[in-house]
Structure formats: structure tokens, C-alpha cells
Amino acid sequence: MIDLDSWQEIFATLRKNRLRTALTGLGVFLGILILMAMIGFGSSLESGVKKSMTGFATNAVFVWGQRTSVPYAGLPMGRRIDYDNKDVAALRRLDAVDLLAPRNQLGGFRGGATAKYRGKTASAQVSGDNPDFQYVQQPVMKAGRFIDDLDITERRKVCVIGTGIYDELFPKGADPIGQYLEIKGVYFQVIGLFGTRQTGAQADRTLSTIHIPFSTFQQAFHYGDRVGWFAITGKPGVSAAELERQIRQLLAQNHKISPDDELAIGSWNAGKEFNKMNSMFMAINLVLGFAGLMTLAASVVGVSNIMLISVRERTKELGVRKALGATPTAIVRMIVSESIVLTMIAGYLGLVMGVAGLEVWNWLLPRLGSDVPLGPAVVGLGTAVAAGVVLVLFGALAGVIPAYHAAKIQPVEALRTE
Amino acid sequence: MSLVSLKKINKFYKVGAHALHVLRDVDVDIAEGEMVSIMGSSGSGKSTLLNVLGILDAYDSGEYLLDGTPIRGLSERRAAQYRNKFIGFVFQSFNLLPFKTALENVALPLYYQGITRRRRNKLAAQYLEKVGLLEWSEHRPSELSGGQKQRVAIARSLITQPRLILADEPTGALDSETSHQIMDLLAEIHAGGITVVVVTHEADVAARTQRIIRLRDGKIATEAASTSPTPSTSTSTSPSPSPSPSPSTSTSTSTSTSTSTSPSPGSEQAG
Ligand SMILES: Nc1ncnc2c1ncn2[C@@H]1O[C@H](COP(=O)(O)OP(=O)(O)OP(=O)(O)O)[C@@H](O)[C@H]1O
Ligand SMILES: [Mg+2]
């Protein structure tokens, strides 16, 4: 390895050729900086888009009923598929199911209703939910609590409201907990207030939701045992697609739906979206990383070039060293370590500058407004370590050819040059 | 057995389409403990011969035995080890590394032996003291005079305790007074038992060696015991310098040659 003496040898030569050192260093520095910018931008874009998607478990599946498109078992096509509590029980028996959140919503999916409080009204999406729902679409509780099992069994007339509803109905700063809202002539006591990690239109919709206990919903709004749709998550290790397949199979069986009928059951799985998103970002990051790496490679070629020139310039010195007993190995080691040290120092400065740049970027980002689809850029420890390894590798690579030339120099020829 | 034994060494340089025959059937034998000079006109092949001796340069045919070891086919690594441990070099242009201090320059050969820095510097200081430059340890070559630089170079050549010192016109860049001091130093080294080979143009430098090998167009012209018109004072093995401006003398103690064609020192030796 490189001992203290070799370090001194290396720094002596690097100091001796200040301009060369500075120029080479600048190349590597910029290379690393660009690589960091590329990786950082990719990460920023990714976290930006993913931020707008969070608030969902990644293997969540949503299932609702539609109309059959194929006649089956003596039943005509165009038959409406409705779900009820029997389906809840059946789905609960599926091994793959982790959380099962049957839902009902006033006016159906994306339907609206009105909530009133002290003469003010707000349009809301009123949905009946089980406690499990809070793990599917992860609301951020700001005050109070979400619906619990007791609310369900006792069919309590309570509700959990989004901050959007709160803003419309309550004066600023007022405590909503314990207050009563009127929905379709029924009064519900507010037990919780939630926000969301989502952004944009999706967030607006989420925050204008009022959750009431699923059992209360069915009773208060005369839904009998009807269920609008299900939000379901799979057990760990079960992919969203597999979960979706099993659910569809079970429901098709129970509702006498043809196995070929794709349209009778509507479903959507978050995993599909996530996978699509992930593979897209993988591609983007791959391209950005590749471009950055190539930039770095170009600067390494620069290092190699300048090292080569420096070997030429130092022919005499190398000749003297050889005359004094430097073996080819010693010469190769000297040149390669010089190259590595030069690349590493410059690269390290580039890394530090890059990280600082990303910090500035992350600081600036929230101040650009919330519409920018960019999130904080995260360059993980792994990336930094990888960058370090790559630097050493590239540095060594840059030194190989010059070192080979240096080792090949004949001592006489070296001594002859003036 | 001779320390250095060259038999029918030939060396060519390719110059364009031609091959320049630089060393022609050169036979040289140098016994351990000898002090020999190589003389000849410019371009006669003196440096080439010395470089071949120092394994700094290759030759095309012939046989070179260094301490009984055939040099042809020696690996680069072994050659480097020989240059490091067996041979010390002194050059006309000193060849000190300009960015290193005198001490670091002297210590450099030991670096390639993997000796620790502390030990290296201690030894380097001892050798600098030997050449009287201890207080110049921390100076860089650019701050030293020619004579001082050459003394640093000599200290460097000695630090690995080699058995053979090869000096290519060590006084060529120095004035006569300084030349004398350098030759005194080389004589002292020789007196210590080290074999010394000096390439020189100067008759009075050659005269301080035991034997002169003369080259003419790459051939050994004459090999003569160094003689002088006044063979009265024998100083060849004396470490003390002779202040006389006339070539100091030495009667040959060498057994290697008898074909002495006593040259008139004024004319031919200066050639
Ligand atoms: N690399 C080379 N390529 C071609 N010819 C060379 C080379 N080196 C030396 N020569 C030629 O070989 C011959 C011997 O050169 P050498 O350096 O040995 O002479 P020298 O006796 O040391 O001369 P000087 O007294 O000037 O130092 C000269 O004719 C020289 O031009
Ligand atoms: Mg010469």
C-alpha cells in the first residue's frame, strides 16, 4: 500500500506541477459535479412525483362493481354487480388479504354531499369506512383520532374530517373536535381532523372527505348491507397484481360472473402504477447516471492525457530514479498513485460541492412553490461510497497507460534528455 | 576474478537507415578495488561504454559479466536491484531531483530498498557529513554550487554501499579547483576499497587513476597504466589530495595490462 513516504513523493510531484494538478483536478471536479447534478436531478424528479403519490399503500387494490358484459349461467349480460357484507366476509377469508376496507360513499364513487355546520355548508365526499382504511390511504392526523372498532360495533354517529372541510366550515383556529356536523339530516360529532401527504388535485379531493364509521353509514343512510367498493392491501410478499387476481376470481365466483368477463368487476391496483412509475424512473436515472458517468470518464481521459504529458516532462526524473534503482513496479506504483490521489482529491472536492449544491437545491425547492413536480434530491450514502470507489477505479485507470509508458522508458534515454 | 568483465561487446545505434557502430568488440576487465579511467575523444563511445557497465543501456552482442553474473537477459527488476545495491552513479550534470532537498536526494536510493524514512535520513545525514555538506541538508540543489551538487551526488551514489562507482565526467562541469576536490573524494572512496570507473576528458583527472582505458571510434585503442613524467610520488591509493597542479602520479598496481605505450601526457592524454 501507499506508505507515508510514497505520500510525500506524490505530494512533492503534485506540488511541483501546480498548473497541471489544478487543471486535471478541475476536470475531475467538474465531472463529479455534473454526475452529482444528474443523479440529484433524477432523484429530485422521482421524489417529486412520488410525493404526489404517497398516501397510498404501494400494494393497495381497489375493487368496485360494474355491469356484466357476458351472459353467464343463465343470467343476462348488463347485470349490475353490487357488493354487500357477505362479500366482506368472503374476502376476509382470503389468505393474501392483509387490510380490508369496505367503503360506501354518498353519491357513489367521487360523488358529493353537503355538510353543514352553524349555517355554513361545504361540499364533501362522505364515506363510510372501517378503521383499516387509515392504513390503506394513510391520512395524517392533525387532531383527534381516526375511526376505531368501537365506533363500528356501536355504530356511533361520529366523523373524521379533512382539513379542506375544516377550512370551509370552521373559523380559523377553532377546535372542531366535539362539534356536530349535519349530513343529510343526520348529525355527526367530529372526532378527528386529518391532513395528507398528497399534493395537487388529489390532495384537494382527499381533504374534502368526511369519514364516518362504515356500520353507521349503512344504517344512517339506509344502505342495508350494501358495500360500494373495497380498498384492500395484500400481506407482505404478495404483489398487488396477484392480490387483484385472487380478489377478482373470488368475486366472479360468488357473483356468477363469467371468468372471461373482464368488465363486470372494476379494479385498480396501486402496484401497477408504482411499477410503471418505478421502471420509468429507473430508466431516467439510468440515462442520467450514464450521461454523468460518461462525463466523468471524459474527465478521466483528461487526467490520463495530462499524466502522459507529465510522464514525458519527467523523463529525466524517471531516468534518475531508475538509475538509482527504481524497479518498473515502483515507477508504475508511483504514477498510478499520483493519478489516484489527484483524481480522489479533486473528486472529493467535487462530491462535497455537489452535496452542498443539492442542499442548496433542497432548501430552494419549497420556496419555488408547491406546483413544481420536484422533490428533495437525496444522494444516499451508498451513492457516495459508490462514487468514491468509481473515483479510485477511474483514477487508477487514468494512471495505467502513463505508468506503462513511464516504466518502459530506458534509463539512458531518460538521462540523455536535457 | 574480475568484478567487471566485458568480452567482444558490440553496440549499434540506429540512425535513420544506418546503424552506427558505437562499441566495437570491446574487451574490458576491471578487478575489484581498481580505479580506472576511460578516455577518448568526443563521440568515441565513452558514455555508451559506461552506461553498458551500469546496466543503464543494452548492448547488441558480446558478454558482460558483473561480479560473475551474466547481465544479458537480466530482468528489469533484477537490473534495477543491481543499479540500486551494486552500483553507484555520478553524472556530469549531477542529476539531482530539483524538488528534493540535499538530504532527500541522498536518501532516495534507500527509498527503493524499502528502508524506513527515519533510518534513511539518518544514513543520508552521515553521508552528507562525509562529503562535508551536513549543514546543507535542507537546501535544494538550486541553492548549491556545482561542486556542492556533485558532492551531494557522490554521497547519494555511496549511500547503498555499492561495490562499483561509475562516474561520467564527474568534473566536466566544474572548475579545476573544484575538480580537484571531487577527485580527492573519488580517490578516498577508492581507498575505501570501492572499485571506481571514471570517464574523463581531463588528463590530470585520468592521471589520478591506476589505469586508463582509451577508446577511439568505439574500439579500445590502448589500455595503459596511468604514468606520468615524474613517477616519483605514488599517490594512487592515498586519500590525501595532491595540491600540485601537474597530474598527480600513480604507478600501476594493476595486473590486468602490460601493453603500456607510455604516452606523452601533454598531447595525447588531453585528446
Ligand atoms: N541515442 C543515440 N542515438 C544515436 N546515436 C547515438 C546515441 N547516443 C550516442 N550516439 C552516438 O554514439 C557515439 C558515442 O556516443 P557517446 O555518448 O558514448 O560518446 P562519448 O565518448 O561519451 O562522447 P562525449 O565525450 O562527447 O561525451 C556518438 O557518435 C554519438 O553520436
Ligand atoms: Mg559522454
Beta bridge partners of A113: A124
Taking an 8 Å cut-off on Cβ atoms, the answer to whether A322 and B83 are in contact is: yes
Query: Is residue B22 lining ligand 1, measured as CB closer than 6 Å?
Result: yes
**What is the pLDDT averaged over residues A187-194?**
95
pLDDT computed for residue A110 by the predictor: 67
Beta bridge partners of B195: B164
Looking at the complex, report in whole angstroms how far the Cα of residue A21 sits from the nearest Cα belonging to chain B.
16
Decide if pLDDT at B254 tops 60: no
How many CB atoms are closer than 10 A to CB B6?
24
Find all residues with CB under 8 Å of A266, minimum gap 6, and list them.
Answer: A63, A64, A65, A66, A229
pLDDT tens profile B193-203? 999 999 999 99
The pairing of strands B164-168 and A229-234 is: unpaired
Which chain B residues touch A323 with a CB distance below 8 Å?
Answer: 54, 56, 83, 89, 95
3-state secondary structure of A172: coil
Query: Is residue B42 lining ligand 1, measured as CB closer than 6 Å?
Result: yes
How many CB atoms are closer than 10 A to CB A372?
12
DSSP per residue over chain B, as a string? --SEEEEEEEEEEEETTEEEEEEEEEEEEE-TT-EEEEEESTTSSHHHHHHHHTTSS--SEEEEEETTEE-TT--HHHHHHHHHHTEEEE-TT----TTS-HHHHHHHHHHTTT--HHHHHHHHHHHHHHTT-GGGTT--GGGS-HHHHHHHHHHHHHTT--SEEEEESTTTTS-HHHHHHHHHHHHHHHHTT-EEEEE-S-HHHHTTSSEEEEEETTEEEEEEE---S-TT---TT-SSPP--SSPP-------S--------TTTTTT-
Taking an 8 Å cut-off on Cβ atoms, the answer to whether B95 and A323 are in contact is: yes
Taking an 8 Å cut-off on Cβ atoms, the answer to whether A327 and B112 are in contact is: yes
* Grid cell digits, residue A192: 378527528
Is B215 inside a domain boundary?
A: yes
Domain CATH number, residue B116:
3.40.50.300
**What is the pLDDT averaged over residues A21-41?**
83
pLDDT computed for residue B247 by the predictor: 41
pLDDT tens profile B28-86? 999 999 999 999 999 999 999 999 999 999 999 999 999 999 998 889 999 999 999 99
Decide if pLDDT at B243 tops 60: no
* Grid cell digits, residue A314: 519527467
Which chain B residues touch A327 with a CB distance below 8 Å?
Answer: 76-77, 80-81, 112
Is B262 inside a domain boundary?
A: no
Is B124 inside a domain boundary?
A: yes
Mutate to test the interface with B, among A6, A324, A327 (most CBs of B within 10 A): A324
pLDDT computed for residue B256 by the predictor: 41
Which residue's CA is the nearest one to ligand 1's atom 5?
Answer: B13
Taking an 8 Å cut-off on Cβ atoms, the answer to whether A322 and B51 are in contact is: no
pLDDT computed for residue A61 by the predictor: 87
Is B1 inside a domain boundary?
A: no
Tally the domains of chain B.
1
Q: B188: domain range?
A: 32-56+74-225
Query: Is residue B40 lining ligand 1, measured as CB closer than 6 Å?
Result: yes
Q: What whole-number distance in Å separates Cα of residue B111 and Cα of residue A326?
A: 9
Decide if pLDDT at A369 tops 70: no
Q: How confident is the model at residue B13 (pLDDT cuts 50, 70, 90)?
A: very high
Is B202 inside a domain boundary?
A: yes
Atom of ligand 1 nearest to the CA of B14: 4
Tell the residue number behind the cell numbers 490521489, with chain if given: A341
**Taking all residues of chain B, what is their mean pLDDT, rounded to a whole number?**
84
Q: Which of A51-55, A240-244, B21-25, B202-206 has the lowest mean pLDDT?
A: A51-55
Is B158 inside a domain boundary?
A: yes
Which chain B residues touch A322 with a CB distance below 8 Å?
Answer: 56, 80, 83
Could you tell me where the beta strands, DSSP code E, fall in A113-242?
Answer: 113-117, 120-129, 140-144, 158-162, 180-183, 186-195, 209-213, 226-227, 229-234
Query: Is residue B15 lining ligand 1, measured as CB closer than 6 Å?
Result: yes
Is B171 inside a domain boundary?
A: yes
Query: Is residue B218 lining ligand 1, measured as CB closer than 6 Å?
Result: no
Decide if pLDDT at A372 tops 80: no
Q: What whole-number distance in Å separates Cα of residue A108 and Cα of residue A356?
A: 50
The CA-atom distances, in angstroms, between B176 and each of A262, B35, B172, B250 are: 108, 20, 9, 20
What is the percent of chain A where pLDDT is above 70?
A: 94
**What is the pLDDT averaged over residues A355-378?**
77
**What is the pLDDT averaged over residues A102-112?**
79
**What distance in angstroms lies between residue B46's CA and the mean position of ligand 2's atoms?**
6
Decide if pLDDT at A272 tops 80: no
Taking an 8 Å cut-off on Cβ atoms, the answer to whether B109 and A325 are in contact is: yes
Is B112 inside a domain boundary?
A: yes
pLDDT computed for residue A218 by the predictor: 92
pLDDT tens profile A47-62? 777 666 655 666 788 8
Q: What is the CA radius of gyration of chain A?
A: 33
Find all residues with CB under 8 Å of A99, minimum gap 6, and list them.
Answer: A57, A132, A135, A136, A231, A232, A233
Judge whether A320 is closer than 8 Å to chain B, CB to CB.
yes
Q: Which ipTM did the prediction report?
A: 0.82
Taking an 8 Å cut-off on Cβ atoms, the answer to whether B81 and A325 are in contact is: yes
